[in-house]
A and B are shown apart, each in its own frame.
Chain A
Amino acid sequence: MTFFLQLVITGFSLGMVYALIALGFVIILKCSKAFNIAQGQFVMIGGYLGYTFLVTLHFPVWAAIIAAILCAIIMGILIERLVLRPLIGESVLSIIMMTVALGTLLEGIATLAWGGEYKAYHGVLPTFTLKLGDISIPPESLIGIMVSIITVTALLMIFRFTKIGLAMRATAENEQVVRVSGIKVTSVYAFSWIIACVVGVVSGILLGGVSGVMTGLAEAGMRSMAVVLLGGIDSIGGTIIAGISLGILENVAAGYLDPLMPSGGGLASVFPFLVIIVVLIFRPHGLFGLARIERI
C-alpha cells in the first residue's frame, strides 16, 4: 500500500509538471488558435533563466522572479513579432512547423548559453516537504498546485474582467470580426504569447528550484501534449485534471508493469504516447473539450 501511495504521490508531482507545460499551450490556443509545440522549451528557458539570476548573479528571490518575468515579456513580444506575425492567415501546418522550429532554436540557444546541462538550485527557493506517516509529499506537487491555482485564477480573471481578455476571447472566436470592430488583433496575439512565455518561465523557475531543469524538458513538452489532448485542447480546468491523472497513471503503470516487461520497462517514457493514440481514436476532443462537429 505504501508503495502504491508513494507511486501516486510521485506521479502527482510529475503530473503537475505536465499540467504547467500544457497550461501555456492551452492559453495560446484559446487566444490565437495557434498550436504551440515549443511550450516545453519555454519552461526549459525559464529554468535556466532562474539559474542565471538566482545562482550566477545572486539576486534575491523576488528580484529574480521579476527579472525573469521581464525576460519572458521581451521573449513573448519578440516571438510574436518576428516569428508568428508573418504567418497570420497561413495554414495550420505552417504554424505548427514554425513552433516546432522555434522549439529547436530555443533548445539550441539554451545549449549554447547554458551548456545544456542539468541545473538545479535546491534550497534557494523556499520549499517545504509534507510528511504523512511513511510517505513524503515532494515539494513539486505542492508548488505545482499553488502555481496552477494562482495562474488559473489570474487568467480566468483576465479573461472575464479585463478589456484585453474580452478581446482575446473574441479573437479566438472570429479574427476578422474583431479586426472590423477596431480591435488591434496583433496586440491581442502579442499579449497571448507574453502570457504563455510568462507562465512557461515561472513554471521553469519553480521546476528548477525543486527538481532541476535540463534540455530533456523539451521532450517532456512533447509528452505533455498527451495531457492537452486528454483534457480537451480548449479547457484550462481539464488540462490540470488531466495532467494530474496522467502523471499518476503513468507512474503507477510504470511501477507495476515495468518488472513484467521483456527488458526492464521504460514504460513511463512511452505511456503518454499510448494515451495520445487511445484518446485520438476514441475521444478526439478529450474529456472536457468542446466537441466540434465536423465531418472529415
Chain B
Amino acid sequence: MAIFRTKTQWLLLLVFLALLFSFPLFASDRMITILTIMAITTISVLGLNILTGYCGQISLGQAGFMAAGGYISAILTAKLGLSFWIALPAAGLGAGFIGIIFGLPSLKIKGFYLIMATVAAHFIIIWVILQFRGITGGADGLAVPKPAIGDFVFRSKASYFYLTMVLTCLAVYCAKNIVRTRVGRAFIAIRDNDLAAEVMGVNLWVYKLTAFFIGCVFAGVSGSLLVHYYSFASTDHFPFMNSIWYLGMLIAGGMGSITGSILGVIALKLLDELVTFTGPFLSAAIAPQAAASIGLIMRGLVIMLFLIFEPRGLAHRWEVIKSYYRHWPFSH
C-alpha cells in the first residue's frame, strides 16, 4: 500500500513541505531554534519508535546512544579533521553497533530486565565518554566545527534549519518505509507475540538486533546533528532525563505510529518551551527553586495523564478526529 493514496494527500504534503521550508523566511530566530531542536528530537524518537513501538523492545537508553553518536561525530570532525558528511553516517553506524552490543541481552530477557539493561547502557556510555578525556575532552567537552559544503558553512540558524529539516524528512521517509517492509512486519510480529513470531519463521536473534541497530542509527544521527548544532559536544546535552522524556514523547504521540512520533515531539517540546517561558515568573512568584521543579512536575504529570487517559496517544486521537470528519454527519 502506498504511503500516499490520493492526490489530495500529495497536495497536502506539498503544501506542508512548502510551508515548512519557507518557515525561516518569516519566523524569528527563537522559533527557528525551537523547530530545529524539535526536528533533531524527532529523528531520535523515530528510532525509539521503531525499537519500542514496533519491535516491542523497551529502551530507556536513547539519550546514551545519542551521546555515542554525537561523540563519534565530534571526534571524527574535531580531532581527525574529517568532513561532517563522513562523520554523520559514521555516527549513525557507530551508535548502531553500540546499540547491537547493548541489545545482546534482549535475546534472553524482556520487559523490566531489558529496561534495566538499557538504563545501564546509558550510564556506561556516559561514563566511558567522561573517562577517556584525551579523546573526548571529558567533562570539559569538545568544540566541534559546523558542517560545510565547499566554502559554504551552515553557520546561521536558518541554514542549519534547512540541513536538519532535509535530514528529518529523509528520516521520516525511511522510517515510514522500514515499518512496511518485511523487516518492519517481522518487528510487529515480535512485538505482538515473540513466540508465535519465531514459530512463523521470524529469526528473533537477527530481527531483535536489527531493531536495536536501526533504532540506534537514528539516535546516532540525531546526536551528531545536535552536537554540530551547538558546535560543542558535552555529556550535559544527553542527560538521563532525556531518555525518559523521549519515551514520554513516544507514549504521548502513540506507539507504533510514525505520525504519532512527530505529534508527540511537537506537543511535548511545546510544553517544555512553555515551562521555560513561565519558569522565571513562577520563580519570582512562589520560590526560587520553582523554575527547576516545575519542569520535573510537568514531565511526570504529562506522562501519567497520557498513560491513564490516552494510552494510545495523540495519533489515535488524530485518527478519531479524521474519521469523525469523514463520516460527518452520519457518524453511526
Q: Could you list which residues of chain A lie within 8 angstroms of chain B, going by C-beta atoms?
A: 35, 83, 86-87, 90, 92-94, 96-98, 100-112, 115-116, 219, 222, 225-226, 229, 233, 261-263, 266, 269-270, 273-274, 276-277, 280-281, 284, 295-296
Contact = CB atoms under 8 A, between A and B. Distances in A.
B307 A263 contact: no
Given A262-B133, A277-B105, 17 more contacts: A35-B112, A93-B52, A93-B111, A97-B307, A104-B300, A105-B297, A108-B294, A108-B297, A112-B287, A115-B288, A116-B289, A222-B123, A229-B113, A273-B123, A273-B124, A276-B119, A296-B204
Contact of A270 (B102, B104, B117, B123): B123
B134 A93 contact: no
Interface in B217-251: 240-241, 244, 247-248, 251
B109 interface: yes
Q: Secondary structure of the A side of the interface?
A: helix
A96 B112 contact: yes
Contacts of A35: 112
Contacts of A270: 123-124, 127
A262 B133 CA distance: 7
Contact of A111 (B107, B113, B124, B292): B292
Contacts of B317: none
Nearest to A267: B127
7 contacts: A86-B308, A97-B303, A101-B248, A102-B304, A108-B300, A270-B127, A284-B109
Given A90-B311, A262-B131, A281 B204 contact: no
A141 B138 CA distance: 34
A105 B107 contact: no
Contacts of A225: 116, 119
B278 interface: no
Contacts of B180: none
Given A105-B304, A108-B295, A284 B124 contact: no
A83 B194 CA distance: 29
A158 B49 CA distance: 43
B111 A92 contact: yes
A296 B131 contact: no
Interface string B266-294: 00000000000000000000111110111
Contacts of B294: 108, 112
Given A111-B293, A263-B130, A93 B300 contact: no
A98 B305 CA distance: 9
Contacts of B107: 296
B296 A107 contact: yes
Contacts, number: 152
Contacts of A261: 131
Interface of B: 52, 58, 60, 102, 104-105, 107-113, 115-117, 119-121, 123-124, 127, 130-134, 138, 194-195, 204, 240-241, 244, 247-248, 251, 286-290, 292-304, 307-308, 311
B299 A266 contact: no
A12 B225 CA distance: 44
Contact of A273 (B109, B119, B297): B119
B110 A296 contact: yes
A97 B243 CA distance: 12
A141 B240 CA distance: 30
Contacts of A295: 195
B100 to A, nearest CB: 14
Interface centre among A83, A90, A96, A269 (most CB of B within 10 A): A96
Nearest to A115: B289
B113 A280 contact: yes
Given A104-B300, A269-B127, A92 B112 contact: yes
A94 B120 contact: no
Contacts of B300: 101-108
Contacts of A86: 307-308
Interface centre among B194, B251, B286 (most CB of A within 10 A): B251
A86 B306 CA distance: 12
B296 A229 contact: no
A275 to B, nearest CB: 8
Given A296-B109, A296-B204, A101 B120 contact: no
B61 to A, nearest CB: 10
A169 to B, nearest CB: 20
Nearest to A100: B244
Interchain residue pairs A-B with the least CB separation, the first 8: A105-B300, A108-B296, A108-B297, A111-B293, A104-B300, A101-B303, A273-B120, A112-B293
A104 B296 contact: yes
A284 B299 CA distance: 31
A276 B307 contact: no
B115 A280 contact: no
A270 to B, nearest CB: 4
Contacts of B204: 296
Interface centre among A108, A266, A295 (most CB of B within 10 A): A108
A104 B123 contact: no
A96 B248 CA distance: 12
A49 B178 CA distance: 51
A269 B127 CA distance: 8
Interface centre among A101, A229, A266 (most CB of B within 10 A): A101
Contact of B297 (A93, A98, A112, A229): A112
Contacts of A112: 286-287, 289-290, 293-294, 297
A141 B158 CA distance: 58
A281 B101 CA distance: 11
